[in-house]
Each structure stands twice: as C-alpha cells, then as structure tokens.
Structure 1
Amino acid sequence: MSKQYVETKVIPFYSTNATQEMNISSLFNEMLLVSEHQLHAVGIDSQQMVQHGIGWVVTKYHLEVQRLPLIDEQIKITTQANSYNKFFCYRTFTVQDAAGNELLTLISNWVMMDIKERKLMPIVPKVMEQIDCEYSEDVWRFPRIKRIKDAKQKKQYQTRFFDIDVNGHVNNAVYLDWMLDSLGRDFLLSHQIKSLDIKYDREVAYGQTVQSSVQLENNSSYHQISSDHKTNAQAQIEWTKRND
C-alpha cells in the first residue's frame, strides 16, 4: 500500500453553487488533482504518459457524504493508491474539515488505456512501484447499480470542446453535471447527497449528443447517460432532505 498524500485547500466561490456547497463535479476534479500531484511528487508525469499513448481512466466511484465542503472553507484532502492487479488500480480519498472531522470518503477503480487503440491495457507495474502500490489479486467490489426502467425526466446535452480532457474524451466529472442537472433546481435546493455510485461504461467523444435520464424512487435517484442508443454511464444516488 502506498503512502498517503495530503493537501490543504480553500474552497473558492466558483467551485460552489446556490446552496453555498461545493459542486460534486468540482469536488471530484479537486480530489483527482491531488492524486495527480502525488504522482508528480514521485516523478510520474501523466502528460508524458499520454505522449507515450497511455492514459489513466476511472471506471467506478463510490462516494459517502457526511456533508459537502462550503464556500471559503478550508479542507484537507488525503489520497492513497491502495492496491492493483492485472487490470485495475484502487485508490481512496478522504476529505476533512479544519478541525479534522471527516466530511466524505471516495473509493475509485482505475484502468490504464491505450489512447491510440482506445482500449484497456494491463497495468504497468513500474508505474505502481514508483508510488509503493502493492500488487494484490483481490478484486474490490462496488455496489451494484440499479438500471432505469421508467425514466420520467430526460434532457439532452451537446458535448463541447471544453468537456474533453487530455485522454481525448469527455471528462468524468462532466457526466455528474449532466446527471444532477436533470433533477432540476427545486430538487437540488431541497436535497443533499448521502451517497453516490457511478459506473462509466463507454466514453463520450467531442460533438456527440447525450441524453441524461433519471428515475426517482423515494430517497433515491437512478441515472443513465446514453448516446447513439448505447449506455455511457450509470449512477444511483441516495438523498436526504435539507433541514431534516
């Protein structure tokens, strides 16, 4: 197991919304930036990996939330590459407030991608050794995501140039914006995320039109991003009402 890597941040106003809480997409991007800094600290340059045709791609997230960071709040983000096997790498994140109270935890599943061929490739052991990440045959299990059967709410989005990351496809955080936006303003102002699971099935490219579908059941929402009649991502979110 690799060493923990820690950074302290202050939440800027542009990473928050009308609730004064940090946007989920901004939160995920900030946590991934910290993991990127850990790689840089041991001499791994993701840009150089991309130039050599190799990219990191996240396939699953499991998020547990006590509360989201607030505007101007100081937080501490801790990350660790826990283990890897032939095709998967597992990384965890925790976010704490200035007093050391845990705000949220994130578990993630990563793969390496051959950027030219657009297909998965075996994890490169040399890269994992540089961050002291141990090899293990253990496969981490993530919650199974319930598929949508009867979506009452659907919205379409056109992918933009600014949605595309260095791997040549839509950044994983953009999917979260598409999913949450489909719930509408009133719901988002009156509910808080308790947990979130998301699975990325197929990449979305520049210029594609995607459909964000959502099905609400009690305190849960079930989401699907699709394009060309194929599923790109699925998610399920547990919610609590604000002020409950």
Structure 2
Amino acid sequence: MEKTSFEKKIQLPYPECDIRNRIKLSNVMRHIQEVSGEHLEALGLHHTLLWEEGFVYLLTRVELHIARLPSALEEMRVVTWPRPCKGAQSMRDVSFYDAAGRELIAARTAWVLADPHTHRLHRPSELPHEIPIGPAPEGYRPPVQDRVRRPEGLGPAGWREVRYSDIDCNLHMNNAVYSDIVCDFLPFDLLQGREIAEYRIHFIKEAALGDRLAVYCAPLPGVENTWYAGADRPDGSACFEAVIRFQN
C-alpha cells in the first residue's frame, strides 16, 4: 500500500523549550528531520540502506509559517508529505497540529540527494526506489527559492566556533544547530517579548568541526519586524542565511 504521508504523535518535553516554555526553533527543525527520516524508514528506505547505495538526503531550505509555537507537555500530531520534485530538489511538507486539530506550524522544505562519499549531487530520478507522492492541496505554495540577501555593509556581530556537540554522523554541524545560532545572536528582549510568525533558512555550505564562523545579525532594512541572520565560513564563503519575522 502506498504511504503518501506519515504521521506521529509526540508530547513536547520541557528540555525542548525556551525561556517562555515554547518549543525552540532548533527543536522544530529536529522534529522535521526526524519525521522525514521516519517516513523514509516506513517505506523501507533506512538511512543505512541509502548510504550503502550511495545516497543521502541533505536539507537545503526550510520555510516555517507559525500560528503558535507549542508549549511544554503539549500533545501534538506531526504529519509529513513528499511533494513533487522541483529540478534537483525533493520537496517535502511537515505540519504540526494541536490536540484539537489546529495547525500550529506549517513547514515547506527542500532537500537534495548527494553521494555521501564523493558529495556529487544526484537528480531525484537517479534514486532506485519509488517514493509515493500524493496530489498537492489546492493553492499549494513551495518554499521561497530566492536566496536571502545580506544587507549591504553589515559587519560581523560575533563569532561561533563549531564544537563536538554541534556535529552529527555526517561530521558536519547538524541543521538544527544553525537555528540556535540565529536565536543566540538576536536581542534577548525580542525573543522574550515577541511571537515568531515566519522563519526561512537556506543552508549553503556545511560547517565542520573547528570552523570559526563569522555571524551576521541585524534588522532587515525596509521590512518591518524582520531580522536577517547568516554566517560565513573561515574561507569567506557563505555558510547559511536566514530571515525571521515577528508578529506585529
């Protein structure tokens, strides 16, 4: 039987929450990664199998639309659906619902297939397995493809060294950690007093153990309630760029 979607229920633990007792952005990202991988496993495509066949999925873009961030001990239903590919990118949605069925967070994500040894990119059609894709809902909108642009003349707000606890089995900084970096460089009063409405992050080039990242963070000129955050690797190349918008 085709499994065009996958869902799970979770109860949000306290350690995944911030000072306001709401889930941290980084843990939203972790749940997105986990439920996406669990869907592949339900289809018989375990990470180890794909690795042995020369394939690994790498997350490249995430766009979050947030109605409300759930609180500690809240029960949620997390659902994911693959969407039609766009060029070399495999598209996937993830939605978080409260116990009453209201959508809390809608995530649009883009992934690429790569060879874990040579880092050569594969087209989705090269995967020797079928991933069933259901029809997109009416009015469906994939994640924004335009690259986030750093404001001109912006200097580093500080530096962040990649430590052991940041890296995963790919020996690079895990995708979720980038969102912790974004929040660490935002003003404390902003995070303490405002609700996040949207979050968009573009992963450009991986950060490895020992890399000292130059981090940039500032309000986005001409865009109300919106901040830019990004980082450069030691060689000056871009590592990631993000935009976060707060509710009025």
**TM-score, scaled relative to structure 2:** 0.88
State the aligned residue count: 237
Identical-residue share of aligned pairs (%): 23
The answer as to 2:133 corresponding to 1:133 is yes
Cα contact 2:61–2:143 (8 A) shared by 1: no
Which residue of structure 2 aligns with residue 188 of structure 1?
191
| The 10-residue stretch of structure 1 (44-53 or 139-148) with the greater mean CA deviation from structure 2 | 139-148
Which residue identity does 1:103 align to in structure 2? L
| Post-superposition CA distance 1:159-213 (Å, at most 9, x none) | 1122122223211111111111101322210122101111111111111111221
Specify the SS of the correspondent of 2:50. helix
The answer as to 2:213 corresponding to 1:210 is yes
RMSD: 2.3
The answer as to 2:241 corresponding to 1:234 is yes
**Which structure 2 residues correspond to residues 32-181 of structure 1 after superposition, within 5 A?**
32-84=33-85, 87-123=88-124, 124-127=126-129, 129=130, 131-133=131-133, 140=142, 142=144, 144=146, 145-151=148-154, 154-181=157-184
Distance 1:60 1:2, change over 3 A: farther
Distance in 2 of aligned mates of 1:19 and 1:68: 10
Which residue of structure 2 aligns with residue 6 of structure 1?
7
Cα contact 1:179–1:225 (8 A) shared by 2: no
Distance 1:116 1:143, change over 3 A: closer
Structure 2: gaps of 5 or more residues: 135-140
Cα contact 2:227–2:245 (8 A) shared by 1: yes
Specify the SS of the correspondent of 1:175. helix
Distance 1:14 1:173, change over 3 A: same
| Post-superposition CA distance 1:20-59 (Å, at most 9, x none) | 0001111111122111111111211112322444211011
Distance 1:86 1:183, change over 3 A: closer
Cα contact 2:7–2:80 (8 A) shared by 1: yes
Which residue identity does 1:219 align to in structure 2? N
Which residue identity does 1:105 align to in structure 2? A
**Structure number having the greater strand percentage:** 1
Which residue of structure 2 aligns with residue 225 of structure 1?
231
Which residue identity does 2:191 align to in structure 1? L
**TM-score, scaled relative to structure 1:** 0.89
Q: Which runs of 4+ in 1 moved over 6 A?
A: none
Q: CA deviation at 1:65?
A: 0.3
| Post-superposition CA distance 1:100-133 (Å, at most 9, x none) | 1110100001101112122322223433x1x313
Distance in 1 of aligned mates of 2:90 and 2:20: 34
Which residue identity does 2:162 align to in structure 1? T
Distance in 1 of aligned mates of 2:239 and 2:81: 27
